[in-house]
């Protein structure tokens, strides 16, 4: 196992010498974890197949789950994707750099294992200065899934990366907590109308306002086009119970019932009023922004006290709330509605 080096970097104006160190690791086939505006990514040279296989090994990621390739400019995009449609170009003009990933036709320069055998490639241009500077300095597109062990909550801090991947990655660039906190929207632009494979921070309405109707992946055949969405995901070790009801009584009663079984963690925006040695409550703000910024780190934090169950209060699945609820539903093994 390699030693994992950790460097603290300025998230808004990253020090060039630290970026140069990270870029040299990427260029020589190593693995670098770095902050994006969504979550931390585990990066390797997208044109180096051996380096990419190192990502799958480090994460324990199923080999049929393809990676997102990160670019810093349009020339880099044109090296890895072919036949970019007019609708795709409009999305790029409007939302890049930012949390929108487009599935496009793949060019031969992309290492085969990046796309897990598909003839497409998922691409985004991140807006976080550290990510952009690293891609530019490495002068190669960087494939990067979220830098967590496969199935665990995505990392929103360098500590989360260290917890999951310490010893398995060459370098972690620590740029502090990420600003958004959940992953990008993934949209398949090779389908017509385009299909949203994973809801994210760029909302369905913002996309369809610009390019017209889009669909949601409904059938399992369609979901198999985004293999990562098939498996249970984003989960802490404890069982997660998601409450979709708005009623404080339902939340209170669920927590009280579960307290008979053991230690309970609760994460939500409504206080339960429960005071009990086996009960830990974490209150966060009620907006999708508040939830996105907190859910992964608070699920990890609650998990540390080894609870039997973590109860999570849901929010309205509208606008950015759709992405938040998508992640919570995937993390949950049970959903309680009215």
Taking each continuous run of H as one helix and of E as one strand, the counts in the chain are 11, 17
Supply the minimum distance, in Å, between the C-beta of residue 309 and ligand TXA: 25
Q: Which among ligand TXA, Mg ion, none contacts residue 327 (Cβ within 5 to 8 A by kind)?
A: none
Cβ-based neighbour number of residue 108 at 10 Å: 10
Q: Are 125 and 70 in contact (CB under 8 A)?
A: yes
Residue 311 gets which letter from DSSP?
E
Nearer CB in complex with ligand TXA: 182/315: 182
Distances (CA, A) of 183 to 98, 159, 196: 11, 18, 13
Q: Residue 100 or 255: which CB sits closer to ligand TXA?
A: 100
Q: How far apart are CA 275 and CA 144, in angstroms?
A: 42
Rg (C-alpha) for the chain, rounded Å, is 20
Residue 287 partner contact from Mg ion, ligand TXA, none using kind-dependent CB cut-offs of 5 to 8 Å: none
| Distance in Å, CB of 141 to ligand TXA, minimum | 12
**Residue of 36, 120, 146, 178 interacting with Mg ion (CB under 5 A):** 146
DSSP 280: E
- Minimum Å gap between C-beta 318 and ligand TXA is 21
- Residue 217 or 309: which CB sits closer to ligand TXA? 217
Of the two residues 266 and 296, which places its CB atom closer to ligand TXA in the complex? 296
In the bound complex, what is the minimum distance in angstroms from residue 42's beta carbon to ligand TXA?
8
Q: State the Cα–Cα distance between residues 145 and 52, nearest whole angstrom.
A: 10
In the complex with Mg ion, the residue whose CB is nearer, 182 or 255, is 182
Q: Is 156 in the site for Mg ion (CB under 5 A)?
A: no
Which residue is closest to ligand TXA by CB?
228
Question: In the bound complex, what is the minimum distance in angstroms from residue 294's beta carbon to Mg ion?
Answer: 18
Binder of residue 118, out of Mg ion, ligand TXA, none (CB less than 5 to 8 A by kind):
ligand TXA
Q: What minimum distance in Å lies between the beta carbon of 264 and ligand TXA?
A: 29
Residue range at the interface with Mg ion (CB under 5 A); choices 17-25, 51-59, 146-154, 235-243: 146-154
b/e 239-253 (16+ beta carbons within 10 angstroms → b) = bbbbbbeeeeebbbe
185 makes contact, choosing from Mg ion, ligand TXA, none, with CB < 5 to 8 Å by partner type, with none
Decide: residue 209, CB within 10 A, 0-12 exposed, 13-18 middle, 19+ buried.
exposed
Question: Which residue number, 196 or 264, has a Cβ lying nearer to ligand TXA?
Answer: 196
Q: How far is CA 306 from CA 47, 150, 154, 171, 329, in A?
A: 41, 20, 19, 29, 21
Residue 281's nearest CA partner among 267, 261, 263 is: 267
Total residues at interface with Mg ion (CB under 5 A): 1
CB nearer ligand TXA, residue 255 or residue 332: 332
SS3 117: coil
Nearest CA to 66 among 148, 141, 145, 140? 145
Query: Taking Cα atoms as reference points, which of 322, 102, 326 lies closest to residue 210?
Result: 102
Closer to Mg ion by Cβ: residue 66 or 314: 66
Closest-approach residue to Mg ion (CB): 146
- Our CB check for ligand TXA shows the closer of 131 and 238 to be 131
Residue ranges that bind ligand TXA, judged by CB under 6 A: 36, 38-39, 41, 65-68, 99, 101, 103, 115, 118, 120-122, 144-146, 183-184, 186, 197-198, 225-229
- Report the partner that residue 62 touches, choosing among Mg ion, ligand TXA, none (CB closer than 5 to 8 A by kind): none
Residue 235 binding result from Mg ion, ligand TXA, none, given CB thresholds of 5 to 8 Å by partner type: none
Q: Is the CB of residue 142 less than 8 Å from the CB of residue 80?
A: no
Residues in touch with Mg ion (CB under 5 A) = 146
């Amino acid at each position: 196992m390699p030693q994992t080096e950790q460097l603290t970097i300025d998230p808004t104006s990253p020090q060039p010498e630290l970026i140069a160190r990270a870029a040299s690791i990427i260029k020589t086939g190593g693995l670098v974890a770095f902050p994006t505006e969504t979550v931390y990514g585990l990066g390797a040279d997208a044109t180096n197949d051996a380096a990419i296989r190192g990502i799958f090994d480090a994460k324990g990621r199923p080999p049929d789950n393809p990676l997102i390739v990160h670019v810093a400019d349009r020339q880099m995009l044109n090296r890895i994707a072919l036949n970019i449609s007019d609708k795709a170009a409009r999305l790029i003009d409007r939302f890049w750099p930012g949390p929108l990933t487009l599935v496009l036709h793949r060019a031969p320069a992309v290492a085969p294992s990046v796309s897990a055998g598909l003839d497409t490639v998922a691409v985004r241009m991140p807006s976080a200065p550290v990510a952009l500077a690293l891609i530019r300095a490495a002068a190669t597109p960087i494939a990067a899934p979220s830098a967590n062990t496969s199935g665990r909550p995505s990392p929103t801090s360098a500590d989360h990366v260290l917890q999951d991947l310490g010893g398995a990655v060459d370098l972690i660039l620590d740029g502090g907590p990420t600003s958004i906190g959940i992953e990008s929207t993934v949209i398949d632009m090779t389908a017509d109308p385009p299909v949203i494979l994973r809801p994210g921070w760029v909302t369905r309405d913002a996309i369809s306002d610009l390019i017209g109707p889009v669909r949601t992946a409904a059938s399992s055949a369609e979901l198999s086009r985004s293999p990562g969405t098939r498996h249970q995901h984003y989960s802490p070790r404890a069982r997660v119970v998601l409450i979709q009801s708005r009623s404080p009584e339902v939340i209170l009663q669920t927590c009280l019932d579960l307290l008979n079984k053991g230690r309970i963690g609760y994460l939500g925006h409504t206080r339960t009023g429960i005071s009990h040695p086996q009960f830990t409550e974490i209150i966060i703000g009620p907006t999708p922004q508040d939830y996105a910024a907190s859910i992964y780190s608070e699920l990890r934090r609650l998990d540390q006290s080894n609870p039997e169950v973590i109860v999570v209060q849901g929010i309205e699945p509208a606008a950015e709330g759709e992405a938040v609820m998508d992640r919570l539903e995937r993390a949950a093994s049970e959903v309680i509605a009215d």
